[in-house]
Amino acid sequence: MEYKITFKNQIKALRRFIFGSLLYYGIFYFFYQNGIYEIYPLIVLIVFFLVLVFPALLLNIEYYLINKNSVVDINTITKTVSFNNHQSIIFSKIEKVTLVMSPVLYRNGSNLVTAFDNYHYALLKMKDGEEFFFTSLMTPKVEDAFKEISGVPIEKKRCFIASPLLLRCWHYLWD
């Protein structure tokens, strides 16, 4: 099966960001129309927006930059994974697949709390040390894309914000 970033997948990923932004805009507009200029409710709203909604936009940009020109073809018949139609890797050369996801997705929950809970990615680590990222902008269910790969261990990791950049910074600082 072939995977790549599509406009439809981006809209699916951003729908909670769009809804949250419209909701916060509506609340601000309500305050403005009714002459409510209390600073504390506005500060609380801004903090909630920055913590619960805004990271989704940043993750969408990060995921897009990681996979913007990538086409990944997982062929279960020939047991190969092809990157950008020119680099085929046999399943046996894949050391492991690490799925990094929010706690809600980790426990197969459906009640997403934040706008960025549905963002997740897979890190394919090859036996020669090479790594490839496969983000949820390529398919909304990354885990399902790799269930068909036989003989490769799949490890699931839970992360509050599934950002490859943050994960690398964390390892750089603390390892």
- Token pair listed for 172: 């750089």
Confidence of residue 171 (pLDDT cuts 50, 70, 90): low
Question: 37-55 b/e with 16+ CB inside 10 Å = b?
Answer: eeeeeeeeeeeebeebbbb
pLDDT of residue 175: 54
pLDDT at 111 over 80: no
Rounded to the nearest integer, the mean pLDDT of the chain is 83
The pLDDT value recorded for residue 168 is 66
pLDDT over 70 (residue 5): yes
Radius of gyration of the chain (CA): 19
* Structural domain count of the chain: 1
pLDDT band, residue 169 (cuts 50/70/90)? low
Task: Check if the beta carbon of residue 111 is closer than 8 Å to that of residue 117.
Answer: no
Q: By percentage, how much of the chain surpasses pLDDT 70?
A: 93
The pTM for the full model equals 0.82
pLDDT digits (tens, 9 = 90+) for 25-47: 888 888 888 877 777 777 888 88
Cβ neighbours of residue 41 closer than 8 Å, sequence gap 6 or more: 31
pLDDT for 17 equals: 84
Strands 154-158, 94-101: parallel, antiparallel or unpaired by DSSP?
Answer: parallel
pLDDT score, position 121 = 92
pLDDT reported for residue 130: 84
The range of the structural domain enclosing residue 113 comes to 2-174
- Residue 71's pLDDT is what? 86
User: 106 by DSSP, 3-state: which?
Assistant: helix
Per the structure block, which two tokens stand in for 12?
A: 């699916």
Q: Indicate the helix (H) or strand (E) that contains 132.
A: strand 131-135
Q: What is the pLDDT of residues 57-86, one digit of tens each?
A: 888 899 999 888 888 888 888 888 888 877
